[in-house]
Amino acid sequence: MEAPDPANVRIITTLGHVDHGKTTLMDALLAANNIISHRMAGKLRFLDSREDEQERGITMESSAVSLKFQVMGQPDEERSPKTYIVNMIDTPGHVDFSSEVSTASRLCDGALVLVDVVEGVCTQTIAVLRQAWEDRLRPILVINKMDRLITELKLVPTEAYQHLSRLIEQVNAVMGSFFASELMEDDLRWREERDRRLAEKKDQLADEAEASANDADDFKEKDDEDIYFAPERGNVVFASAIDGWGFRVGNFAQLYSAKLGFKEANLKRVLWGDFYLDSKTKKVISHKHLRGRALKPLFVQFVLENIWAVYDAVVMNPNTEKVAKIVTALNLKILPRDLRSKDSRQLLSTIFTKWLSLSTCIIQATIDVVPSPPVAQAIRIPKMLYPNIFDKSIQPKNKLEQDLFTSDFAPDAAVVAYVSKMFAVAAKELPENKRRAVTADELRQRARDAKEARDNSIPISETPDPPRAAPESPPNMALDSSEDSEVILGFARLYSGTIRTGSTIYCVLPKYDASLPPNHTHNVAHLILAKVEGLYVMMGRELIPVDNVRAGNTFAIRGLGGKVYRNATLCAPQSIGVPEGADPVQVQSSLINIGGVTRTVSPIVRVALEPVIPSDMPKLVAGMKLLAQADPCVETFQQQTGEHVILTAGELHLERCLKDLRERFARVEIQASKPIVPFRETAVKAQDMAPPKTPNATRGTIKGASTQNLVTFSIRSAPVPDVILQFLLHNITTLRALQQDGQINGDALGSSMGIVSESELVGVQGDVLYTPSVRADQFWDALEDKCNEAGGEWVNIIDRIWSFGPRHAGGCVLIDCRKDTTPLSLRHRLSRNHSAQPTNMSSSNVDFTGYVETGFQLAMFQGPLCAEPVEGMAYFVESIDVDADGVQKEIVQNRLSQVTGSVISAVRDACRNGLLDWSPRLMLAIYSCDIQASTDVLGKVYGVVAKRRGRIVAEEMKEGTTFFTVSALLPVVESFGFADDIRKRTSGAASPQLIFSGYELLDQDPFWIPTTEEELEDLGEKADRDNIAKGYMDSVRERKGMFVDRKIVQFAEKQRTLKR
């Protein structure tokens, strides 16, 4: 495939909800390129190359393909055909694989957003539209499955037009909401920037009024005209991928302009909307001039009625004469044998493919709407490099940025490529390892060589091997030795320069800090040299080897295995690569980091794995490493208990990962534990709580002491007010960033940063990834406002906050309320230099405050109920008393470590007991569940949800259809097998989408037993009703090997000894 001009390249992705027809649409485009037959388009699903994808009928991995199209130039240009290369990436629509969508959209300039015309805007549709918005993709709306309006809903054209206009309005409402939120952010950012500039000028100019008079910069409000979908602007395609047709309003405007005598541009403007044709005057009128006449809109009269007529004559009421008339009227060349076909869908597809070809429409829309790489990069790259700069037009600051903004592919242009994900390919699937089929010419040449050898009387055995035979054998030998191995390839896009096979490049890993020199201790570990071992153009399941790739194309690269984990930026000063022996400092000007660590969905389903045969453990560990690299949404690690754990996004994702481990990566039999679901522990103020544990003290007060009572303390627990808790949970990432900045100092930056990030990678399992509501510099002020809002003892407490937990950032707070000492304030500690902070030394010269904080962190990480993280508890340290003489004696006898250890244990136990002094509660991880179901199976859906302790939040009927959209909340612990269960009960008529949405309080005390007379009378002493919270708690304790308070003999009076 010869390299075209970057202006004739387009890079797009297909986005949409599951089962909205993305892969079927791709089939139509592949058929137009003669990669698959037209008859098989829509049935083959060529890009679903995995066996389980074909079985389930859904896409699980994104696939890329490069297609070549000849397109005639515009009428105003010269009418010679141009060659366009369209790089397309087909993505999954299932929520479990949404990380595949984010890795693909990062590489593209445009997106085909598919929406099922009947199901309308679904949860994933909104998610993918947001992804396209954040990545600055130019979207094209494809309203798919138009045939369902005719065959299923049996709408008349006028009803269908109203349905379509409502659908476009819904999609535009989603786009408008994104625009509005960004506008508010930009406005705030501009005001802050303006205030900062005014403050600077105020120092220079004496008077503030003079400063504002000199500041002529006004807020330029963005125009939202470009963001909406409008058929007359050409960014809406009406299609039916299964029947192979699609059109834009422009297609019909072109068709009718000559017949009606209108200019094409004018007709295109009025063909969609409330415009009508006055049959008397032959003029187009708007709805204002209808004067009560029952005219049909132009779109109904000229577009929909024609399509409905074809469906009526071919499928609904087959009529061969009518079909023949339609074919003649449309001037289509269709063979008589095709017209006589008994397969009505095949005939329909033949007529429409000739009349309104889907591939032609999609490609023309892509060329018209999606910008070429040089144009797109000028818009997208500045935002990737400077995400916080408000200015719309950012000028390049150096040659590297100039090359990036213009997508320069000259030999001296800097090479910059972004690898968005790694993927695994079987070694035998690589082109160089495949046995090449011998062509007819080669066979003839071989026969001639043999004849010449005989004529020259040379024994055949002595004939030298033809040169092609030599390279054939080593790959085959390599294939035999490593036939089953997997090769890791990078999925990348080249932004500038030309990358060549065999050249050396720098891999800039995501944590590389461009503000520091490359030889800095922090950057050394994140800058790695790699050799380009192979470059490939991706064609779905096939890889085509190439020698070089130009800027503006997507490609696969070999040689990054073991160097790049998931994503990286590949850099080199020019196309020949990094000069041999060059120092990183010499090529610093060509190093850039455009890949940050982005996580769209938090993995929630955790499973422990072990091989059936214990000796296969090394294979399993190696396989898990490969899997974690090849799948962007999997985390694998070893727990403190020694278990090897895999974290996945959902049940379907887990099934795919286990299948991959068994068949591709580890190739051993694996046993998986039951899914390990995260819980949270908290406490609430209930009505009938037991008396406080410490008499004559406020509830939650616990007194504790270390060994020999050398250190005694008093800690009081209380639930955190909801307003503060929600603020903390939403700003965990801000809090982590604050602490990271406070702890990092000079050269210590590398180690601290590495440690924090790696632990965050696993994090407290099941953390919900919220978008922070405040920035780091506003965190403390905002928290102070929330504390004052909560009132009571929380007023003016901000400077007494000692620490947050668990893991120094969470929903629990440690507060220093000791009298007669300077309070330990995290705010002050982070604001001034870490090394210069005042330590609160006691008279014994041993500071026990650090050990108190450690005890608090341990207690918050593993709560008292079932060793799960605690959320929403505050601990007020009221006193810490130290026996100075006793501590000195312990120091003399070298036993201080026993004292400090016992302080940690005592504080941990005190914090746990403080929680139990209130009414303890478990918090369940919750899925928000969206189910689309028809009215006849609605009752069965409700039954399945209720059986699994879920609750229905909302239900609404899709206008003009018999479908209901049901929203429910379902505990994750009850969700396993839910999708299969619901499909079985409804005979496949309903399928759920489960999205992790956080934690919800289970309002039941796990330690509750019947005590009052009414309860005893109602339930009996044994409490025959199951305590759900206790059941969950005991199952987790049992799994962790903790003590479970369970009676072995439940009902002794009912047991009897069996006769011998």
- Determine the pLDDT at residue 392: 63
Q: Cα-atom radius of gyration of the chain, to the nearest Å?
A: 34
Angle at 862 between CA 861 and CA 864, to 5 degrees: 140
Q: How confident is the model at residue 60 (pLDDT cuts 50, 70, 90)?
A: very high
Residue 189 has pLDDT above 80, yes or no: no
Higher-pLDDT residue of 217, 683? 683
The secondary structure of residue 642, as a DSSP letter, is S
Amino acid 1024: pLDDT? 58
Q: How far apart are CA 916 and CA 691, in angstroms?
A: 11
Condensed to tens digits (0 to 9), the pLDDT of residues 955-1006 reads 998 877 888 899 999 999 999 999 999 999 998 888 898 988 889 999 989 9
**In whole angstroms, what is the distance from residue 866 CA to residue 1037 CA?**
5
Query: Quick check: 413 pLDDT over 50?
Result: yes
More confident residue, 739 or 726: 726
Q: What is the mean pLDDT of residues 646-672?
A: 92
Question: Span 476-504, mean pLDDT?
Answer: 77
Cis peptide before 611 (omega within 30 of 0): no
The whole-number average pLDDT for the span 1034-1048 is 86
Give the C-alpha distances (Å, rounded to integers) separating 832 from 809, 813, 821, 828, 836.
20, 21, 19, 6, 7
Low-confidence winner among 356-360, 431-435, 1009-1013 (lowest mean pLDDT):
1009-1013
- When the pLDDT of each residue in the chain is averaged and rounded to a whole number, the result is 85
Whether residue 603 has pLDDT greater than 60: yes
Contact 895, 901 (CB under 8 A): no
Amino acid at position 210, single letter: E
Determine the average pLDDT of the residues in 179-186: 84
Q: Is the predicted pLDDT of residue 927 greater than 60, yes or no?
A: yes
d(CA 681, CA 999): 10
pLDDT at position 472, please?
Answer: 37
The pLDDT value recorded for residue 842 is: 41
> CB of 910 within 8 A of CB of 702?
yes
Residue 501: its pLDDT value, please?
93
Name the band, by pLDDT with cuts 50, 70 and 90, for residue 566. Answer: confident
What separation in angstroms does the CA of 72 have from each of 77, 79, 84, 474?
Answer: 10, 6, 10, 47
The average pLDDT across 425-443 equals: 82
User: Where residue 112 falls among pLDDT bands split at 50, 70, 90?
Assistant: very high
Average pLDDT over residues 58-79: 82
What is the pLDDT, as a whole number, of residue 395? 81
Q: Which of 1029, 1048, 1025 is nearest to 1037 (CA)?
A: 1029
**What percent of the chain is predicted at pLDDT more than 70?**
88
Instruction: For the chain, give the percent of residues with pLDDT over 90.
Output: 45
What is the rounded CA–CA span in Å between residue 879 and residue 877? 6
- Kindly give the pairing relationship between strand 81-90 and strand 9-16: parallel
Who has greater pLDDT, 162 or 476? 162
Model confidence at 671, pLDDT cuts 50, 70, 90, reads very high
Helix 123-134 to helix 98-105 angle (10° resolution) is 30
Q: What distance in Å separates the CA atoms of residue 167 and residue 984, rounded to the nearest whole number? A: 31
Q: State how far the alpha carbon of 896 is from the alpha carbons of 714, 754, 886, 1057, in Å.
A: 21, 32, 10, 59
What is the average per-residue pLDDT within 406-422? 91
Q: What is the largest CA-CA distance in the chain?
A: 116
Among 42-51, 387-396, 693-702, the minimum mean pLDDT is found in 387-396
pLDDT mean over 869-879: 94
Answer whether residue 681 shows pLDDT above 50: yes
Helices (H), 793-895: 826-831, 849-861, 884-892
| Among candidate residues 152, 143, 168, the one with its CA nearest the CA of residue 239 | 143
Q: 460 pLDDT exceeds 50? A: no
pLDDT the model gives residue 476: 37
For residue 349, pLDDT over 70 is answered with yes
- How far are the Cα atoms of 445, 446, 454, 886 from residue 468, in angstroms, in the given order? 12, 11, 21, 87
**pLDDT given for residue 814 in this prediction:** 95
In the predicted model, is pLDDT for residue 692 greater than 80? yes
Return the C-alpha torsion angle 575, 576, 577, 583, nearest 10: -120
Pairing mode, if any, of strands 812-816 and 873-882?
parallel
- Rounded distance, CA 434 to CA 441, Å? 20
pLDDT at 598 over 80: no
Which of the residue ranges 264-268, 284-288, 531-535, 976-980 would you say has the lowest mean pLDDT? 284-288
Number of continuous H segments (helices) and E segments (strands) in the chain: 34, 33
Decide which of 282 and 177 is more confident: 177
Q: Show Cβ contacts of residue 286 under 8 Å, excluding neighbours closer than 6 positions.
A: 274, 275, 276
pLDDT of residue 305: 94
Residue with the larger pLDDT of the pair 1019 and 703 = 703
- How is residue 1050 written in tokens? 């439940």
In this predicted structure, the answer to whether residue 764 has a pLDDT above a threshold of 70 is: no
- In this structure, are strands 644-648 and 605-611 parallel, antiparallel, or unpaired? antiparallel
From the number of C-beta atoms within 10 Å of its C-beta (0-12, 13-18, 19+), residue 705 rates as middle
Above 70 in pLDDT, residue 462? no
Report pLDDT for 920.
94
pLDDT at 341: 84
Instruction: Give the pLDDT score at 974.
Output: 93
Q: Specify whether the CB–CB gap between 562 and 538 falls below 8 A.
A: no
Query: Which residues are CB-neighbours of 196 under 8 A, at least 6 positions away?
Result: none
Q: What's the confidence (pLDDT) of residue 645?
A: 93
The mean per-residue pLDDT over the stretch 165-186 comes to 90
Q: What is the pLDDT of residue 745?
A: 44
Coil vs helix vs strand at 383:
helix
The predicted structure's pLDDT at residue 488: 92
In this predicted structure, the answer to whether residue 761 has a pLDDT above a threshold of 70 is no
